[in-house]
């Protein structure tokens, strides 16, 4: 509970003694490249195979002459939008970006760069962490949209290259009983997950104590706690927004 209280106080420091707006714009744009653009390749590769495997496994579990093949496309679509694209991508994002955020801030802490900023009268939490969180909130939803699109495209490749179902049946399933709120729900999850990963990772890295070994431990804790927070918030959001 003490860490939770310190985490809340840490978030409060983001909005005190801020720098100029132009400074944050420059820092945020740099973080957008680091957080978002540099993650596109990894997210793309994982998403395509994620959609392809989901299609194959769904087809394997629906081998029944009474069930139309178009159901496979429907299941893959809903599974991708509601769960795979936002949640699985968030866990990958925590492993890549979250650990890097924690490692960078931890290194700055043990090399006394953060202390130097404080001596100069700069709010180091706001200066170093706020651009990372804003950039993640802006870029991660785009990564989720990319992941969902490529996962569905991966399912189409399976339909095109194998004989588990025809592309026409796959597209029919994609269009069947589509609920627009699924996309809204996925974007809400992406914002929440992005905030949790960036803020928790920054918190773990900022309060690193010791040396290089402790930096690695902070990165590991950042990924672990972020993944737990993602799964817990996933359950809470589903309970609040999906269960009627």
Could you list the pLDDT tens digit for every one of the 244 residues in the chain? 667 888 888 888 888 877 788 888 999 999 999 888 889 999 999 999 999 999 998 888 877 777 788 888 899 999 999 999 999 999 999 999 999 999 999 999 998 888 898 888 888 888 999 999 999 999 999 999 999 999 999 999 988 888 788 888 888 888 888 888 999 999 999 999 999 999 999 999 999 888 888 898 999 999 999 999 999 999 999 999 887 6
pLDDT for the residue 121: 84
Nearest to residue 173, comparing CAs of 157, 185, 155?
Answer: 155
Q: What is the largest CA-CA distance in the chain?
A: 72
pLDDT for the residue 244: 63
With contact defined as beta carbons under 8 Å apart, do 150 and 45 qualify?
A: no
The upper half-sphere exposure of residue 113, i.e. CA atoms within 13 Å in the direction of its Cβ, equals 13
Cα distance between residue 97 and residue 35, in whole Å:
6
Domain borders along the chain are 35-241
pLDDT for the residue 4: 82
Residue 117 CA: distances (Å) to CA of 50, 111, 112, 156, 161: 43, 12, 9, 52, 57
**DSSP calls for 6-38:** HHHHHHHGGGSS---HHHHHHHHHHHHHHHTGG
Contacts of 18 (CB under 8 A, 6+ apart): 24, 123, 126, 130
Cα distance between residue 134 and residue 233, in whole Å:
19
Cα distance between residue 151 and residue 77, in whole Å:
9
Nearest to residue 132, comparing CAs of 56, 32, 21, 228?
Answer: 32
């Amino acid at each position: 509970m003490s860490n939770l209280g310190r985490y809340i106080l840490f978030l409060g420091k983001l909005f005190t003694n801020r720098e100029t707006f132009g400074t944050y714009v420059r820092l945020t744009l740099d973080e957008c490249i680091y957080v978002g653009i540099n993650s596109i390749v990894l997210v793309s590769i994982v998403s395509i195979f994620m959609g392809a495997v989901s299609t194959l496994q769904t087809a394997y579990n629906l081998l029944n002459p009474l069930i139309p093949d178009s159901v496979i496309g429907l299941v893959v679509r809903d599974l991708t939008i509601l769960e795979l694209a936002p949640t699985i991508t968030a866990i990958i994002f925590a492993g890549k970006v979250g650990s890097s955020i924690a490692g960078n801030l931890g290194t700055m802490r043990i090399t006394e760069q953060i202390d130097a900023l404080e001596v100069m009268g700069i709010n180091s939490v706001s200066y170093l962490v706020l651009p990372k969180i804003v950039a993640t909130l802006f870029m991660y939803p785009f990564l989720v949209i990319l992941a969902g699109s490529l996962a569905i495209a991966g399912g189409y490749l399976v339909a095109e290259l194998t004989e588990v179902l025809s592309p026409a049946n796959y597209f029919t399933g994609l269009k069947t009983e589509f609920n627009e709120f699924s996309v809204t729900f996925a974007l809400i999850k992406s914002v929440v997950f992005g905030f949790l990963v960036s803020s928790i990772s920054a918190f773990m890295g900022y309060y690193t104590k010791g040396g290089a070994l402790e930096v690695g431990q902070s990165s590991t804790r950042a990924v672990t706690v972020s993944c737990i927070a993602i799964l817990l918030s996933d359950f809470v959001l589903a309970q609040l927004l999906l269960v009627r």
